[in-house]
Chain A
């Protein structure tokens, strides 16, 4: 019996250690307002605010645009990299990064593509 208690205790401690280790690598989904307060790495889901210009600077490899989170808050986003491939047609995207002053510094932009996998009976007949 002792053996099992020992194994069980060891397993439990191990699980707690794993859960604690999430802290560094787990990134919360949140909105820009909370992101501003947190000032740590988070991810925000939102849409491109296309009434504002976008800009890609080839010299600095910086892509800049405006984005609205789900609550409608507007944010200026800077991403160190080129404009993502399907940026203009993606209905929604996720930016990972943190807020610095009034800018969201994105380290990654994940675009969700309008997927053709969802079959639609209208498209069958064409």
Chain B
């Protein structure tokens, strides 16, 4: 109850704060300021309280709350318990609202310090208000009996334990990636509300430095958040790469591109004036991009076409998300139209041989790429809308587009640096430019041979190398003069590395399959792989059975151990294993070992028996297997309604010793499928599986088949050349943003 009330309260506070700040602006009644500030802080405090309350419920295992029951359990370690806060839709919305509140506090003090109008706080409060509105309908504070009205759940019912976190999320990355991503999303609200205020007050000039400051922070944090997600997918999820053009990835990339465009249009404004409407539009689009991403990933419209799992949040929330989106499309348009004439730009004379011109070209390419990604990602919605036949886009669609766009953007960046902002005589640059060009052409010809005559990649390599040279030279020159305004060069170098790394690791990767089983060797790419042993890890946790495979990977000049992981979890009742890859990193490449499948290849002939039968063990004449009885006691443990655990109680006589064990198979009533849960035969290194059930009139006459197999881990070995450049590139890009932010810490000459 408390949680819900506090959300209602937060919603009310943010609404009032929005109205107070707005009327304060309109009427200039200073008395309103007090109320506006109080309601603003009221909104912040109540959102923080709601978060703390949810956290308290998670940490105290209050499983009467549907949310807590759905995403956490008693055995989760502390940091995962914290992370289960945002493992579901409701909690991640609350996390977003929490970040918005905290970011709002930063904005509040920033505005005070720099004497900006509080009008932007009004718009800010308006956006948080919408978030709280969704939280009212999609609340993390619903009780179980409310969530399942048909389940006949008593009001005071407390489940023993929660369902727990999906085991593939049980990794420290879940504590890092989502919060940074949502923080980035939250930061993007600030350039938007500041530029709204600037336009509204016909004083964009006064806001532009402030907008730049927050746009740079937003671009840095969001960029970092996105790439950490990529690294997570690569390093532990075993998705093979760091980027797959998945709708979820795309929809977070689009707002990032928009905010990067904003950073550049602000720069154009700074150097030559003008571009005010353009700036406003991109500050708006960046924020709108965040809302659109939220809509795409939370409305369930993409559930068929993404690797991320989505749950349809229900009609009310869907409509609410659409209203949210609609309001923030219409409202800025109204403000824009009201003020359109005030910012009629003076005629701009753009000289072609200027940095401004080439920056403009670069911006156009960024916009083109964002439109390509948007159209591709929105395809399922458009198809739905016009009732067209459902098609799915392959990643090749994006790759085809991005290759030429990347070439252009690199060249424009490189060329732009030869010129001054307002134009440079071409004669002055010919000498340095021709030197750069000659070096780049020579190196690219070398690349052409090495890359097996791939023309397209060679052109991309040429553009990258050329831009690298120009940026490096600029960077060195600046540093030599003890000028540390180098953010742009560092970021652009980062982008060069990122693009080259993506091209080399993606375009030149090769995959082969290896089979790992004890006593046999398997080879790929000149490496010999040999399974040495496996070790059970995390044995103290009863909800999992986790093995680390030790695989020797040797070649002529290297010898190392890789350790992929295979585990079963109670999350799906140990029915199918989960995998984690391992990566052997070299300077020039990564060797990526991703388990794909764990099978049991036939070892001995299967045996067929009835209840009460005893048969000779196929591995040794002296040993025997006795089928004692059926075990139905675990029937209900299946992971879904239609799955049942069907067991056979066995007695082994091995080397004169008696062992008892039960082997299970998962029976799916709906599909009538039967999949054995393989178990090692006592003292042996092969496993037994309950592979078939032949029903008769009664159980006594029914027959079962027991198979014997040796475990075989099938893994894909992928060589990814120079993927390290991707990570270096991301780090440089982010550092560049941080360096650049420094320049805008204080804003000067704000005329109020």
CB distance from A121 to the nearest CB of B (A): 3
Chain B neighbourhood of A86, CB < 8 A: 576
Contact B400 A24 (CB under 8 A): yes
Q: Mark B368-383, 1 if CB is under 8 A from A, else 0.
A: 1001100110010000
Q: Does A40 contact B (CB under 8 A)?
A: no
CB distance from B154 to the nearest CB of A (A): 10
CB distance from A69 to the nearest CB of B (A): 15
Q: Mark A96-122, 1 if CB is under 8 A from B, else 0.
A: 000000000000000000111111111
Chain A neighbourhood of B70, CB < 8 A: 119
* CB-nearest residue of chain A to B579: A85
* A22, B396: Cα distance in complex, Å: 10
* A102, B147: Cα distance in complex, Å: 49
Contact A15 B375 (CB under 8 A): yes
Within the complex, which residue of B159, B391, B673 is in contact with A28, where a contact is CB–CB below 8 Å?
A: B391
Q: Does B441 contact A (CB under 8 A)?
A: no
Number of interface residues of B (CB under 8 A): 62
* A89, B714: Cα distance in complex, Å: 19
Q: Does A5 contact B (CB under 8 A)?
A: no
* A117, B300: Cα distance in complex, Å: 13
The listed residue with most A CB atoms (<10 A of its CB), out of B372, B394, B712, is B394
Q: Mark A77-100, 1 if CB is under 8 A from B, else 0.
A: 000011111101101000000000
* A123, B69: Cα distance in complex, Å: 11
On whether A114 and B643 interact (CB within 8 A), knowing A85-B596, A119-B148, the answer reads yes
Q: Does B397 contact A (CB under 8 A)?
A: yes
Within 8 A of B (CB), among A5-64: 14-15, 18-19, 21-22, 24-29, 43, 47-48, 50, 56, 58, 61
* CB-nearest residue of chain A to B63: A124
Within the complex, which residue of B368, B598, B639, B642 is in contact with A14, where a contact is CB–CB below 8 Å?
A: B368
Q: Contacting chain A: which of B52-60, B498-506, B664-672?
A: B664-672
Contact A124 B392 (CB under 8 A): no
* A19, B376: Cα distance in complex, Å: 9
Chain A neighbourhood of B69, CB < 8 A: 124
Within the complex, which residue of A15, A24, A119, A125 is in contact with B147, where a contact is CB–CB below 8 Å?
A: A119
* A14, B596: Cα distance in complex, Å: 41
Contact B394 A126 (CB under 8 A): no
Chain A neighbourhood of B624, CB < 8 A: none
Within the complex, which residue of B159, B376, B640, B712 is in contact with A114, where a contact is CB–CB below 8 Å?
A: B640
Chain A neighbourhood of B379, CB < 8 A: 22, 26
Q: Does B636 contact A (CB under 8 A)?
A: yes
Chain B neighbourhood of A123, CB < 8 A: 163, 641
Within the complex, which residue of B368, B396, B598 is in contact with A24, where a contact is CB–CB below 8 Å?
A: B396
CB distance from A51 to the nearest CB of B (A): 9
Q: Mark B125-153, 1 if CB is under 8 A from A, else 0.
A: 00000000000000000001001101111
Within the complex, which residue of B392, B598, B599, B671 is in contact with A91, where a contact is CB–CB below 8 Å?
A: B671
CB distance from B44 to the nearest CB of A (A): 32
Chain B neighbourhood of A50, CB < 8 A: 671-673
Contact A124 B159 (CB under 8 A): yes
* A83, B600: Cα distance in complex, Å: 11
Q: Which residues of B contact A (CB under 8 A)?
A: 66, 69-70, 144, 147-148, 150-153, 157, 159, 163, 166, 309, 311, 368, 371-372, 375-376, 379, 389-397, 400-401, 513, 515, 571-572, 575-577, 579, 596-599, 601, 636, 639-643, 666, 668, 670-673, 675, 712, 714, 716
Q: List 20 A-B contacts (CB under 8 A).
A: A18-B371, A21-B400, A24-B396, A24-B397, A25-B393, A26-B394, A27-B391, A29-B391, A50-B673, A81-B596, A83-B597, A85-B597, A88-B675, A89-B576, A117-B311, A119-B148, A121-B148, A121-B151, A124-B144, A126-B636
Known: A28-B389, A120-B640. 15 other contacts (CB 8 A): A14-B371, A15-B371, A21-B400, A25-B396, A26-B397, A27-B393, A27-B394, A43-B392, A83-B597, A89-B643, A89-B666, A114-B640, A121-B151, A124-B144, A124-B157
9 tightest A-B contacts by CB?
A121-B151, A25-B397, A121-B148, A82-B714, A82-B597, A26-B391, A88-B675, A25-B394, A61-B513
